[in-house]
Chain A
Amino acid sequence: MSNLDDTEFLEPATLAEALRFMADESTRAVPLAGGTDLMVQWEAGVRPPPSRVLNLKSLPELAELRAEGDTLIIGAGITHAALRRSPLVRKHAPALADAAATVGGAQIQALGTIGGSIGNASPAGDMAPSLLVANARAEVASIHGSRTIPLTQFLVGYRKLDLAADELIIRFHLDALPAEYCEGWRKLGPRAAQAISKVMGSYRGKQEGGKVASFAVALGSVAPTAIRLREVEQWVVGRKLNADTLREAEERASAEVKPIADIRSTAEYRQWVSGRLVRGFLEHLASAG
């Protein structure tokens, strides 16, 4: 048990106040939302106790969830429980709702937030692939204003984000699922529930006239960040899905990832199964279209 008794606890009432804390080095703090990652890391001694913590829990600005035209806007403070329950998310980003439903158990889903999951910048974060296939943009803010960056660029590397020391993640903007498109989410973990992923991923696609008209696919736990598989995406568009193209798509997808071995799986299996997941997504698309 780490001792956090001496950690200063900052309780901003508004986003503006929170950003002011972050602006000044003397008050800058570790932002804390659901605590499902940070509290564990502090407890386990993986991270030393911080000198200051910024409580994001009660900021109303982070709690919005709405559709605006073709865009779905999700506040960074929205929990996994809220994501899986929301009819809006279910309609406009079903793979995200499905992903949220596979994070931890009910208790973790009630605590953990989408902003925290992305902010933790782990390649095993279950939110990223569904956001990536929805072309999500992260909106971040500091007292100097806000900026919006495609998630592909926001996820810089292992535990690295394009986020300045004085910035906070505010919300995500997603392309709502267009009509006639399908989505899917698949997670492979060491057990059926409450698992950290070995490999997981999402796709969004469309078939037209027996051919793939559009295909976006993203996988996590196979590279330092969750990634879109651009090569296989481009290769498959315009093709008819049959045994040959499925096999080739599988091989191309497998070649496009660079997984490592860890306690949950081997690099070789991850490499192979990445291709298999992409094949599964294409089969799903073929059967849906």
Chain B
Amino acid sequence: MSATVSSTYRNVGKGLPRRDGEEKVRGLAAYADDIPVPDGWHGWVVRSPVSRGRLKKLNFDPAFDWSRVCVVTPEDIPGENVVDMVGRDMPFIAHDWIQFKGEPIALVAAPTRALAREAASHITPEIEEQPAILTLREVVDQFQRDPKSLHEMVAQTISKGSVEQGFAEADVVVEGEYWSGHQEQLYIEPQGMVAFPEPDGGIFIQGSLQCPYYVAPELIVTLNLPLEKIRVKQTAVGGGFGGKEDFPTLIAGYCALLAMKCGKPVKIIFDRNQDILYTTKRHPSWVRHRTGLKRDGTITAMKVDFLLDGGAYTTLSPVVLYRGILHSTLGYKCPHVYVDGHVYRTNTFPNGAFRGFGAPQAIWALESHMDRCAHKLSMAPEAFRLHNALRLGDTTATGQTIAEAMGTPTVLENTLAHSQFVEKQKRCSRGDPKADCWYGIGLSFFAHGAGFTGDGESRLKAKAALDLEILHDGEPGINIRISSTEMGQGTFTIMPQIAADGLAIPLDRVCCPHPDTKYVPDSGPTVASRTTMIVGSTVFDAARKLKTQLEAYASETFFGGAPTELNNGLFKNTYTSVSLPFERVAKQLIAEKGPQRVYHQFQLPASLKWDQKTFKGDSYPSYSWGCNVAEVEVNPLTLEIKVLRITSTWDIGRVINPVLAKGQVEGGLTQALGYAVMEKMGIKNGVFDANRMQTYVVPTSMDVPEMDIHFVEYPYTHTALGAKGVGEVSMDGLAPSVANAVEAATGVRLTEIPITPEKLWEKLRETASSAI
């Protein structure tokens, strides 16, 4: 454990209660459906009833009174009929080809939701239906027979050394295939947005979203408005998990197009059924590993095929693929690596962002496979991992050198000790037919790239501003102006902690209001576990800048030019014992010169090199590390699987707020538990079969096991703050540790998540186990 936490921090490192806690426990926080919308209309999306085909025309029932409603079809779109995301292949409203069942074919607004819905039912399309490809199974079948017949959205390889040579040097080669399905974010607040037409012809969008500066610029070409006429403000957000990263642009666009046509504010709040059917999911994956091994456990070659089901349009799939393939061998040293990644189209709702962003799929396969490799060599799973774990000075598959101290292999060693893994391994039942209860323990060890992939942060240039002004309580203070959103993870709490410490002023003098593009610069999206690491550090540096300015002003104005320092909320100069409170100086400065704003822009260290074409270099600025040990009990009578306990250790760099950080881990592990053993989504009649909360089952309070959580701090050395990321790493690694534990309990390995009693029964049947 590093002990570098500076004693100058009064707030950073403390588990302070969340800033928005009180309004949330009192029911006062205003979410998208809670904000007043005087004279507002309700929007509805008319959707395609088929999965693929050519749209001939729309029929409007002549018996319906269309004068009472507003209808938007492609002809009404002021700009281009395209969602301006990566790929630019998705129309806002389908006008020619239908690529998935549920694709928008028209929009309707009316004074009531019921009327909008009714109107929508009077619009019927004529579609010439075409064959569709609906599942990853079909994709993988075709990939193995004739990959050219598939519609490829993106492909990328990673190559290091020569895998042929690596396999030639190997004593043993181990192969495995691993499957994962769709996962739904299932934030408890469904997607919701309101668009208000502005008198100047602009549009003001408020709603549930993670990234105000995705929504606003992405609507420019569609609405044919300049950026300054598209104002986006975040309301309170009832959970996002990536589900409110890319999708809100669509629902905001629907509202804006309708509002611009009917001249009224237009609101769309999805009900749960719509939210599950018509929003993005985690990409289903198929990963094939082929690994060369020496008898002593050394990995000589790793060859990986990595396939994702992209759904019908590209959206964020390339970026998800990049993160996926970069994590598909991460954590281990290996001289010869070849990863072949592809995203293929299926005619289902486009898959998009979800906490982990490709990494959970990659780590599910990798950490299942590493256990299989250890097993093949008759090595203990922890010994195999300790033997191969990346350490300081080692290089990753892209050739990145681990150049600073990180939590590898400490998180592994620490978790082994806390969980008594080695001792408990001896208790594992391995399908003992005489046992009343099967016990198993399993391990996973992994890293998560902190911040954007590659040079993303260099291209983005995240900005933060601090406004010194009179706050709502009439006293001077700081408003933090960033586009990072609060969606439960704690942005509005940790940013004031960071800014207050950067300025050395009392915490209650710092506020972090909901981002509104009218006031905040672009700090980038609230994604990729980058908010604390990148934006937090930018806020900290901005605070230091403002502190210097304030000290100069105080020195000049109050201390006759003597060197002055702001500390603990007080300005003091070196010569006298006189001190002035921050408020006094700030008030005078504002009175004299008006509110003050300082900007700061984030910069990656120049030493960081990345080649996006060859996928060589520093694929991430740094890495968070995690290790999970899952203990399970399988009931031999029914094959029910119960996860009893999860022991975990995390290196997330400097921990800014340990209570919030632990909350992130507890929540991430719980979502990962659902991914591992519960959350299941099939395709039926072209759409998701689990389309309500009754059928899409996530963990309840009674499903969640005891969680023993530890942190080890290895601060990121290129920012003053030293934070890495916690949001996603906690979601990444539980599933394989559960699969490994289930194998230890039952003697059979399952290679598809979720792991269910049904699959376990089939597998035990296949292996003719005498236990059942």
Direct contact of A and B (CB under 8 A): yes
User: Given A196-B694, A263-B689, A265-B758 in contact, is the A280-B700 Cβ separation under 8 Å?
Assistant: no
Contact among A1, A266, A273 for B638, CB-based, below 8 A: A273
| Chain A residues whose C-beta falls within 8 Å of the C-beta of B699 in the assembled complex | 191
Residue of B whose beta carbon sits closest to that of A192:
B702
> CB-CB contacts of A97-123 with B at 8 A, as 1s and 0s?
000000001000000000000000000
**Are A193 and B758 touching (Cβ within 8 A)?**
no
Given contacts A268-B761, A269-B761, could you give 17 more A-B pairs where the C-beta distance is less than 8 Å? A40-B694, A44-B692, A105-B700, A190-B678, A190-B697, A191-B699, A192-B703, A193-B700, A193-B702, A193-B703, A194-B700, A195-B697, A196-B694, A263-B680, A263-B695, A273-B761, A279-B637
> In the complex, A196 Cα to B695 Cα: how many Å?
9
Residue of A whose beta carbon sits closest to that of B640:
A188
- Size band of the A side of the interface? 20 to 34
| Chain B residues whose C-beta falls within 8 Å of the C-beta of A3 in the assembled complex | 114
| Chain B residues whose C-beta falls within 8 Å of the C-beta of A74 in the assembled complex | none
**Are B637 and A276 touching (Cβ within 8 A)?**
yes
Is B420 part of the contact surface with A, judged by Cβ < 8 Å? no
Is A272 part of the contact surface with B, judged by Cβ < 8 Å? yes
Is A277 part of the contact surface with B, judged by Cβ < 8 Å? yes
Using a CB–CB cutoff of 8 Å, the interface residues on chain A facing chain B are 1, 3, 5, 40, 44, 105, 188, 190-196, 263-266, 268-269, 272-273, 276-277, 279-280
**Are A277 and B700 touching (Cβ within 8 A)?**
no
**Are B678 and A191 touching (Cβ within 8 A)?**
yes
**Are A191 and B700 touching (Cβ within 8 A)?**
yes
Residue of B whose beta carbon sits closest to that of A199:
B638
Is B682 part of the contact surface with A, judged by Cβ < 8 Å? yes
Is B335 part of the contact surface with A, judged by Cβ < 8 Å? no
Residue of B whose beta carbon sits closest to that of A280:
B637
**Are A193 and B637 touching (Cβ within 8 A)?**
no
| Chain B residues whose C-beta falls within 8 Å of the C-beta of A280 in the assembled complex | 637-638
> In the complex, A44 Cα to B682 Cα: how many Å?
19
Min Cβ gap B113→A in Å is 7
Is B549 part of the contact surface with A, judged by Cβ < 8 Å? no
Question: Binding site of B, secondary structure by majority: helix, strand, loop or mixed?
Answer: loop
> In the complex, A188 Cα to B678 Cα: how many Å?
13
> CB-CB contacts of B752-766 with A at 8 A, as 1s and 0s?
000011100110000
| Chain A residues whose C-beta falls within 8 Å of the C-beta of B637 in the assembled complex | 276, 279-280
Complex interface residues of chain B between 713 and 772 (CB less than 8 A to chain A): 756-758, 761-762, 772
Min Cβ gap A287→B in Å is 12
Using a CB–CB cutoff of 8 Å, the interface residues on chain B facing chain A are 113-114, 271, 273, 637-640, 642, 678, 680, 682, 689-690, 692, 694-695, 697-703, 756-758, 761-762, 772
| Chain B residues whose C-beta falls within 8 Å of the C-beta of A40 in the assembled complex | 694
Min Cβ gap B678→A in Å is 6
Residue of A whose beta carbon sits closest to that of B682:
A263
> In the complex, A100 Cα to B613 Cα: how many Å?
61
Contact among A1, A266, A279 for B271, CB-based, below 8 A: A1
Min Cβ gap A3→B in Å is 5
List 3 tightest A-B contacts by C-beta distance, closest first. A192-B702, A193-B702, A269-B758
Contact among A44, A191, A268, A272 for B703, CB-based, below 8 A: A191
| Chain A residues whose C-beta falls within 8 Å of the C-beta of B701 in the assembled complex | 193
| Chain A residues whose C-beta falls within 8 Å of the C-beta of B680 in the assembled complex | 190, 263
Residue of A whose beta carbon sits closest to that of B115:
A3
> In the complex, A38 Cα to B689 Cα: how many Å?
21
> In the complex, A277 Cα to B757 Cα: how many Å?
14
Min Cβ gap A80→B in Å is 17
> In the complex, A1 Cα to B117 Cα: how many Å?
9
**Are B757 and A269 touching (Cβ within 8 A)?**
yes
Residue of B whose beta carbon sits closest to that of A190:
B697
> In the complex, A194 Cα to B698 Cα: how many Å?
10
Min Cβ gap A275→B in Å is 10
> In the complex, A80 Cα to B761 Cα: how many Å?
33
Residue of A whose beta carbon sits closest to that of B754:
A190
**Are B113 and A1 touching (Cβ within 8 A)?**
yes
User: What are 29 pairs between A and B in contact, CB < 8 Å?
Assistant: A1-B113, A5-B114, A40-B694, A105-B700, A188-B640, A188-B757, A190-B680, A191-B678, A191-B697, A191-B703, A192-B702, A193-B701, A193-B702, A193-B703, A195-B697, A263-B680, A263-B682, A263-B689, A263-B690, A264-B695, A265-B758, A268-B761, A268-B762, A269-B762, A273-B638, A273-B757, A276-B637, A276-B638, A280-B637
Min Cβ gap A169→B in Å is 24
| Chain A residues whose C-beta falls within 8 Å of the C-beta of B756 in the assembled complex | 190
**Are B638 and A277 touching (Cβ within 8 A)?**
yes
User: Given A3-B114, A263-B689, A265-B758 in contact, is the A192-B700 Cβ separation under 8 Å?
Assistant: yes
> In the complex, A263 Cα to B682 Cα: how many Å?
8
> In the complex, A40 Cα to B756 Cα: how many Å?
27
| Chain B residues whose C-beta falls within 8 Å of the C-beta of A268 in the assembled complex | 758, 761-762
> In the complex, A190 Cα to B703 Cα: how many Å?
10
> In the complex, A273 Cα to B764 Cα: how many Å?
13
| Chain A residues whose C-beta falls within 8 Å of the C-beta of B761 in the assembled complex | 268-269, 272-273
| Chain A residues whose C-beta falls within 8 Å of the C-beta of B703 in the assembled complex | 191-193
> In the complex, A105 Cα to B700 Cα: how many Å?
10
- Which of A188, A190, A268, A276: most chain B CB closer than 10 A? A190
Min Cβ gap A195→B in Å is 7
> In the complex, A276 Cα to B637 Cα: how many Å?
6
Residue of B whose beta carbon sits closest to that of A2:
B114
Min Cβ gap A259→B in Å is 12
Residue of B whose beta carbon sits closest to that of A194:
B700
Min Cβ gap A219→B in Å is 13
Contact among B638, B689, B694, B697 for A188, CB-based, below 8 A: B638
> In the complex, A269 Cα to B757 Cα: how many Å?
8
Contact among A195, A266, A279 for B758, CB-based, below 8 A: A266
